[in-house]
């Protein structure tokens, strides 16, 4: 008879221990996905900040073009800036995973902006051969050098975002994390990667040999 209280305590201890373990497992499964979501959000912000900074540099390029090459139209760049700014603001304000159409619009706007910058760079480099202003080459080189680390930074931010999205998707499809994904609805969250053709590194985006 004296063993019954001991057995009751033992089974009670086992029950409590098992309950704690199960709680930790299920809570850990949720928090793991929650942290993955936060990392995607942080990577998105990192990418957005790089895009915003590139837009902030463009007035310098426009001003230099108007002053040094007044015959060169800047309206295509201005239109690309306006479009990229509008789309970027939509991306920034999005509180849920980006929709497919918005991702595509973001890619196209950033690629179009890169193309217009590259075209002006090409115009500048051609004009330097006959430029009478000896300081123009120095000013242009200094401005262009601001884009080199920035463009590479944009490439890194896009890759970081895609890596986080890849990790999240992999966890929703791989056992045992897929069980928690279905349990908490994370498998219904559709994160979309940014195309590898968008936000290219500098040597691919602006070199005269690149297409």
Is residue 182 predicted with pLDDT exceeding 60? yes
The residue behind tokens 């890194």 is 156
Please report the pLDDT score of residue 24 as a whole number. 61
First to last CA, the chain: 88
Q: Convert the pLDDT of each residue in 47-102 to its tens digit.
A: 999 999 999 989 888 888 888 888 888 889 999 999 999 999 999 999 889 999 99
The residue behind tokens 């349990």 is 183
Residue 137, CA distances (Å) to 49, 63, 103, 144, 146 in order: 29, 15, 37, 10, 14
- Mean of per-residue pLDDT scores for the chain: 87
Separation between Cα atoms, residue 147 and residue 150, nearest integer Å: 5
The predicted model scores a pTM of 0.86
How many Cα atoms sit within 13 Å of 28 on the Cβ side?
Answer: 8
């Amino acid at each position: 008879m004296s063993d019954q209280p001991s057995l009751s305590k033992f089974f009670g201890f086992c029950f409590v221990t098992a309950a704690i373990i199960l709680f930790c497992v299920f809570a850990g499964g949720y928090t793991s996905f929650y942290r993955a979501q936060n990392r995607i959000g942080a990577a998105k912000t990192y990418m957005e900040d790089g895009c915003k900074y590139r837009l902030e540099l463009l007035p310098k390029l426009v001003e230099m073009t108007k002053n040094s090459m007044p015959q060169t139209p800047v309206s295509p760049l201005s239109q690309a800036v306006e479009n990229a700014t509008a789309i970027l603001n939509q991306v920034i304000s999005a509180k849920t995973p980006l929709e497919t159409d918005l991702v595509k619009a973001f890619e196209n706007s950033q690629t179009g902006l890169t193309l217009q910058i590259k075209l002006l760079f090409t115009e500048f480099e051609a004009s330097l051969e006959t430029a009478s202003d000896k300081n123009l080459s120095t000013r242009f080189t200094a401005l262009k050098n601001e884009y080199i680390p920035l463009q590479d930074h944009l490439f890194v931010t896009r890759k970081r975002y895609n890596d986080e999205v890849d990790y999240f998707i992999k966890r929703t499809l791989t056992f045992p994390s897929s069980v928690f994904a279905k349990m908490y609805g994370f498998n219904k969250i559709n994160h979309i990667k940014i195309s590898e053709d968008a936000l290219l590194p500098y040597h691919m985006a602006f070199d005269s040999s690149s297409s």
